[in-house]
Amino acid sequence: MRPKSSGYYDLASRAFHWITAVAVTAAFILGPGGFGRLMRNGVDPATHSDIVWHESLGLLVFALTVLRLLWVALRPAVPQFSMAPWMRLASKGTHLALWALMLALPVTAIVALGSEGHPLTLLGGIRIDQMPLIAESPIAGLADWGDVHGLLGDAIMWIAGLHAAAAIFHHVLLRDGVLAAMLPFLRRR
Ligand code: HEM
Ligand code: HEM
């Protein structure tokens, strides 16, 4: 049985949360608009630092999310707060959507690059020029994966914004410990 919660998320859960939040936001800000035009003009994406950083941060989000999900299965009990059933449901639904998007964003990006024959270009000069397994799979033709990826990128920022607003609402108006559970320095004396 897991020990009773201290009222705070454990240090690893907090580190995963805030590093991921910063990486998702930075990846969004660097989202490469006009990528298709650059590719049609024969530009090498490795020469555009916004693209290289965007792809590297996005893959970092994927790696952190996989490790974080493993940690969720092993970690100590997380804090529980009493709240109305609709609020609990909304919170669970928002978390589920965020988890799904943190995995779906990198996956759709890789499928987009692979199916259109564009290179994956990462920091440190790492690159994969062709992904034949994806290009030749039936998934490649199912959608314009670049468009799907961009839409999901917008969606995660809207949902994360709602989630952040809810956390601030809990702290300022409901005055419970929900935000402090992720940011212990906010603890009320
Ligand atoms: C948290 C992760 C990510 C977020 C929030 C995100 C967000 C976005 C957004 C909003 C766009 C559209 C930009 C615009 O049209 O102005 C975009 C485009 C793009 N992203 Fe990401 N992205 C993420 C991860 C990745 C990863 C891991 C890769 C590569 C492996 C990647 C590669 C691309 C590419 C190539 C485009 C251009 C797509 C096209 O127009 O065909 N992204 N991303
Ligand atoms: C892209 C940005 C963000 C993403 C993807 C995200 C994602 C998540 C996820 C998946 C959880 C569940 C964590 C777990 O069980 O370990 C969570 C919890 C939490 N997040 Fe975020 N978050 C983001 C930004 C923010 C921001 C900006 C705030 C505060 C202003 C915030 C406040 C919280 C709080 C207080 C919790 C724990 C309380 C709860 O159960 O809702 N998050 N977040």
Residue written as token pair 């609020």: 87
- Tell whether 1 is covered by a domain: no
Q: Does any domain span residue 5?
A: no
CATH for 170: 1.20.950
Tell me if 179 CB under 6 Å of ligand 1: no
Domains: count for the chain: 1
Say if 150 falls within a structural domain: yes
How confident is the model at residue 97, as a pLDDT? 98
DSSP lists the bridge partners of residue 127 as: 121
120 forms beta bridges with 128
Whether 37 maps to a domain, the answer reads yes
**Assigned domain for 2 exists:** no
Tokens of 98: 């965020």
**Distance between CA 150 and CA 21 in Å, rounded?**
18
The closest-lying atom of ligand 1 relative to the alpha carbon of residue 61 is: 1
In a domain, 34, yes or no: yes
Ligand 2 lined by 164 (C-beta under 6 Å): yes
Residue nearest to atom 36 of ligand 2 (CA): 182
Please tell me the distance between residue 144's alpha carbon and the centre of ligand 1 in angstroms: 13
174 inside domain: yes
Q: Does residue 189 belong to any structural domain of this protein? A: no
Cβ of residue 95 lying under 6 Å from some atom of ligand 2: yes
Q: Please give the residue range of the domain that contains residue 101.
A: 11-184
Is 111 touching ligand 1 by the criterion CB < 6 Å?
no
pLDDT of residue 188: 63
Q: How far is the CA of 160 from the centre of ligand 2 (A)?
A: 8
Walk along the chain (189 residues) and give the pLDDT tens digit of each residue.
455 677 899 999 999 999 999 999 999 999 999 999 999 999 999 999 999 999 999 999 999 999 999 999 999 999 999 999 999 999 999 999 999 999 999 999 999 999 999 999 999 999 999 999 999 999 999 999 999 999 999 999 999 999 999 999 999 999 999 999 999 999 864
